[in-house]
Structure 1
Amino acid sequence: MPVVIRNINSIQVFNAVADVQNVTRAAQLLNSSQSAVSYHIKKLEAELDTALFRRSASGLELTEAGSILAGHVARGLEAIRTGIDQAASRAGSIELALLPMFASRWLSSRLGGLLEANPGVQLSIKNHNNNYAHMANPERFADLGIQWGRGSWSNFEVTKLWPERLVVVCSPAYLAAHPIREPSDLASCTLLHVDDTRMWEEWFADNDVQLPETRSQMMLEDRHFQLSSTINGLGISLFASWAVQSELERGDLVNPFDRTFGTSFAYHLIIPQNADLSPSAKAFHDWLLKTSRSARPVGQPATRHS
């Protein structure tokens, strides 16, 4: 049957005495009395039913059993100290599940303000392909994250950052080869998308156009790849209007309809339900919601945060 140490203080006292091999010195280091130190050593020896120290001309010496215990105790206390350090560090760390385009085009330029206000925060950025809300154990991947979609994810606390406006874009060369004047003209175009075709399905339905079942399409890995593929003339895409503003201004992309379109899709801040956010993760959560209200992309309407 395992020996039960009923008072962990006895282990700490034993460690101190083993280090200095002197009861008086150990009492000084522990800010305790000699009698209290002696009591803990005798109590521990009684519980183990073996002597841990013997007296010598120079003071105390560890017995064979004491030496064995001292080695294990030293390693054990060091492991505990390491765990405490890591736990303290974890309290200041935040693991974020981010979508690359959102991170690079909106978040990265604003993180400086967060880090200046919270110098102890340690950010760990983890990219995902819009699958954070669909992971079996999302809390093991990140504390919280950004997800694109309609916000209907069970087992998450979901907050929409702002309503979006979508823009239809293609390269100038693609437009020259595929004249687009009406929404129905897109039925003969190659539709580029990520994840699935729900955004295109919504757009065609909102514009009273039947989406052909035999349409040409290309599914891409992420938004950055979709953007480069669109610029390179592989097809036509739907993007959040603010995300491709610089490409439109430079002429890398064109907007054949010269307008934006409403959508039920948006970026959301999501947290696994029942997650116990660290103080730093909670600070990031509050900062992001506040920043999304005051620094929303140009042209995006205001929304209320719950």
Structure 2
Amino acid sequence: MKRLPPLDALHVFSVVARTRNMSRAAETLFVTQSAVSRQVRQLEEHLGTALFVRQARGIELTVAGQRLLPAVEQAFDGIRRAVDALAERPTDLKFKLPPTLALRWFLPRLPDFQARHPEIEVRMSTASFSQIHFEREDFDAAIVAGTQEPADCHTELLFNEELTPACAPALAARLRTPADLAGEALIHLSPDHADWRAWLALAGVSHPALASGPSFELSDMAANVAGQGLGVAIADPLLIADDLRHGRLVTPFPDLLIKTDYRYWFACPRARRHEPAIEALRGWLRAEIEASLAECLGKS
């Protein structure tokens, strides 16, 4: 195999080929014209063929020079791009997700993702979390929650919502059976109290004050109030997984869960679903959610 010519000589060749003039090539390279001529001559001797021919209107490439030039330019362009990539700052990944999921589940785990992927910097937002329009919004990926799968993008189902009562440990000590809830205030996630109605029906009990009790738009707020011992919230165990692990909240009836039609999807633009940063986030999310579900619900 013939030894490769020196990179300096190939670089000089590409500049001369681009300028078609030894003097201009020397100015571009900040060397003398004789140095340029010497590099070209040495390259031609190494290859055993002429690369340029002098004509009245300047220097032109020979057939051999025309064959060599695209490969040289492609090689130097590849080196240039590789060097630029090494000098780039970490990839910014703009990520949108629901507030409760962000505050109670994602943020506590984000340091783990950053440690595994220091080249990716996640920039998080919880604005208008119930929908995503990648063509109008400046986001790279999202977790979208709702009853309808997001349209016009690539989606993957992450998990289905399941609800069960959750409360402070001291209050949970008074709850031996679902019927004991009749003496406690219920904290609601919807004005129509549909979630509690469905769970009480599953448990086969009633509550004398179902129509009363505070209602909150966010599960995070309901969980905070429940953690203060002010009532029993109904919550998705995954969203309060850290509260359960640290004993801030307890699920007194963990085997009684209602499945709702509310779901959480990972979403990203279809054309970008195979980008390394998006694939890294998606894979990490799926693994972490699976681990959380296994821990708080005993699922495998």
Q: CA RMSD, aligned part only?
A: 5.1
* Contact kept in structure 2, 1:162 and 1:266, CA below 8 Å: no
What percent of counterpart residues are identical?
Answer: 19
Matches of 1:193 and 1:267 in 2, distance apart? Answer: 15
How many residues of Structure 1 are paired with residues of Structure 2 in the alignment?
236
* Contact kept in structure 2, 1:151 and 1:158, CA below 8 Å: no
Question: Deviation at 1:226?
Answer: 1.8
User: 1:139-179, CA deviations, whole angstroms, 9 ceiling, x for partnerless residues?
Assistant: 61522222444564444544333456533123477779x98
Question: Deviation at 1:225?
Answer: 2.0
Most deviating of 192-201 and 277-286? 192-201
Other structure's SS at 1:215 match: coil
Matches of 2:290 and 2:158 in 1, distance apart? Answer: 8
1:274 counterpart = 2:270 = yes
Change (3 A) 1:148 1:228: same
Matches of 2:151 and 2:195 in 1, distance apart? Answer: 20
Q: Which residue is equivalent to 2:163?
A: 166
Question: Deviation at 1:263?
Answer: 1.8
1:240 counterpart = 2:241 = no
* Contact kept in structure 1, 2:165 and 2:235, CA below 8 Å: yes
Matches of 2:282 and 2:190 in 1, distance apart? Answer: 27
Other structure's SS at 1:95 match: strand
Other structure's SS at 1:229 match: helix
Q: Which residue is equivalent to 1:28?
A: 29
Q: TM-score, normalised by structure 2?
A: 0.54
Matches of 1:174 and 1:127 in 2, distance apart? Answer: 32
* Contact kept in structure 1, 2:158 and 2:266, CA below 8 Å: no
Other structure's SS at 2:266 match: strand
* Contact kept in structure 2, 1:144 and 1:269, CA below 8 Å: no
Residue of 215, 220, 234 corresponding to 2:216: 220
Matches of 1:296 and 1:275 in 2, distance apart? Answer: 30
Change (3 A) 1:23 1:112: same
Question: Deviation at 1:237?
Answer: 0.9
AA of the residue aligned to 1:226: A
Q: Please show how residues 96-107 of structure 1 align to structure 2 within 5 Å.
A: 96-107=95-106
Other structure's SS at 1:284 match: helix
Matches of 2:152 and 2:110 in 1, distance apart? Answer: 28
Q: Please show how residues 139-150 of structure 1 align to structure 2 within 5 Å.
A: 140-150=137-147
Question: Deviation at 1:104?
Answer: 4.5
Change (3 A) 1:92 1:200: same
AA of the residue aligned to 2:279: K
Q: Which residue is equivalent to 1:229?
A: 225
Change (3 A) 1:223 1:279: same
* Contact kept in structure 1, 2:166 and 2:234, CA below 8 Å: yes
Q: Which residue is equivalent to 1:95?
A: 94
Q: Please show how residues 47-58 of structure 1 align to structure 2 within 5 Å.
A: none
Matches of 1:195 and 1:302 in 2, distance apart? Answer: 31
Matches of 2:192 and 2:130 in 1, distance apart? Answer: 15
Matches of 2:263 and 2:183 in 1, distance apart? Answer: 27
Q: Which residue is equivalent to 2:297?
A: 300
Question: Deviation at 1:268?
Answer: 2.6
1:284 counterpart = 2:281 = yes
Structure of higher RCO (CA pairs closer than 8 Å, 6+ residues apart):
1
* Contact kept in structure 2, 1:164 and 1:300, CA below 8 Å: no
* Contact kept in structure 2, 1:192 and 1:217, CA below 8 Å: yes
* Contact kept in structure 1, 2:244 and 2:296, CA below 8 Å: no
Matches of 2:283 and 2:167 in 1, distance apart? Answer: 37
Other structure's SS at 1:230 match: helix
Q: Please show how residues 68-83 of structure 1 align to structure 2 within 5 Å.
A: none
Matches of 1:250 and 1:292 in 2, distance apart? Answer: 18
AA of the residue aligned to 1:223: S
Residue of 175, 196, 199 corresponding to 2:195: 199
